[in-house]
Amino acid sequence: MLKTLESLGDLRGKRVIVRADLNVPLDGETITDDGRIRAALPTLTRLVDAGARVVVVSHLGRPKGAPEDRYSLRPVVARLGELLGQEVAFANDTVGESAREVVSALEDGRVAVLENLRFNAGETAKDESERTAFARELAELGDAFVSDGFGVVHRKQASVYELAQLLPAAAGELVGREVEALRKVTDTPERPFVVILGGSKVSDKLGVIDTLLTKADRILIGGGMAFTFLKAKGWEIGTSLLDGDQLETVRGYIAQAESAGVELVLPVDAVVAPAFAADSPATTVAADAMPVDQMGLDIGPESAKLFAEKIADAATVFWNGPMGVFEFEAFAGGTRAVAEALAEAPGYTVVGGGDSAAAVRTLGFEESKFSHISTGGGASLELIEGKALPGITILEEDDK
């Protein structure tokens, strides 16, 4: 059982450090998808209403332990302020003079954001003592800690793990919902339970396939990883993505699914093109008749129809990974069809973060059409795999 906000008691006037995940995509200083900011709002709003002095910390991008203008959280602050309906203060460092001044000036019910955590090498250091030293500096700025950045709970990082050891700590609303939704999928799925996997590489999904191959009723395979499955069946895949090292593993999955009575559904057609480009001429071919000089960039319309039929009667659906290169309109059809099928499905539908969540928003779907959209790609996969996530285990009740 996760420690909840209630376990922290009365927070009025208390400085509460919230580890959020505000790692949003930027085009210059323009936010192209504010989904993660909006996902942080329930916890932040609740703390504001409780009269806490809220200190938000997050990373953005992958700076190398030193400040870089392109990774500044400044653009995020403006959008967060719009969504919260209040001016949000910003510190131009994380544990330095600016941070101390901004935090000390906070009033009850107000919010501040500190600069990118990863501008400090201690945040992601492999050495535990370095992480702890940085976490101690962060802890001086707060009276309590709330972990609400689900996208990083699978990492032992200073603001995720060590900080939770130094202050009274609890899970935020988002982390609580994520854990509940994903454990519902793996522990108590209603049936039929359908899993849809896409993305580029089989190797990225090995743990998920291993886990769900014994739990799912149907597994639908799309995206670039589908071509490794087709190749494992002995079919021509042209210049499509191939995870060659995993061919034997995939053949084992095909055999295991058959022996376990799990329906493994592969594409029956594909949208191919001579090059990986938005304007590359697209044609549709049967999955067993791919030209040697073409690459598959999406599942075809017959596959999309087949996948939709396999989703229609599902009581539980877990989807991770797009069906094609959805960023290019000519190759977005398969991903759009799967998203539509999930949106219309009567069962419990979970979109497993990462590119799948981005696709849902990019293609214009109402998020309310899905039971849960995860904010963490890697974290959601590891939780589905049954791994112990450091940022979750540190928040569990001692008597669990």
Catalytic residues: 36, 201, 354, 378
63 upstream amide cis, omega within 30 of 0: no
Query: Are 198 and 356 in contact, with CB atoms under 8 Å apart?
Result: yes
Binding site annotation covers 354? yes
372 is in an annotated binding site: no
**Contacts with 344 (C-beta within 8 Å, 6 or more apart), sequence order:** 312, 369
Say if residue 353 carries a ligand binding annotation. yes
22 is in an annotated binding site: yes
Residue 205 labelled as part of a binding site: yes
List residues bridging with 219 in a β-sheet.
195, 264
Per the listing, tokens 């999930």 go with: 342
What does the alpha-carbon distance between residue 85 and residue 82 come to, in Å, rounded to a whole number? 5
DSSP reduced 3-state for 373: strand
Q: Which has the closest alpha carbon to 319: 299, 343, 346, 297?
A: 343
Q: What are phi and psi of 312, to 5 degrees?
A: -55, -40
Phi, psi of 351, deg, nearest 5: -100, 120
234: left (phi over 0), alpha (psi -120 to 50) or beta: left
Give the position of tokens 């058959």: 258
386 Rama class: left (phi>0) / alpha (psi -120 to 50) / beta = left
Q: Is 296 annotated as a binding residue?
A: yes
Q: Is 92 annotated as a binding residue?
A: no
Check the annotation: does 327 bind a ligand.
Answer: yes
Is 120 annotated as contributing to ligand binding?
no
**Spatial CA neighbour of 394 closest among 177, 128, 178, 156:** 156
36 is in an annotated binding site: yes
Query: Is 60 annotated in some ligand binding site?
Result: yes
231 annotated binding-site participant: no
Tell whether 62 is in a known binding site.
Answer: yes
Q: Which residues are annotated as a binding site for ATP?
A: 205, 296, 327, 353-356
Question: Binding site membership for substrate: which residues?
Answer: 21-23, 36, 59-62, 118, 155
Tell me the binding residues.
21-23, 36, 59-62, 118, 155, 205, 296, 327, 353-356
Per the annotation, where are the binding residues for (2R)-3-phosphoglycerate? 36, 118, 155
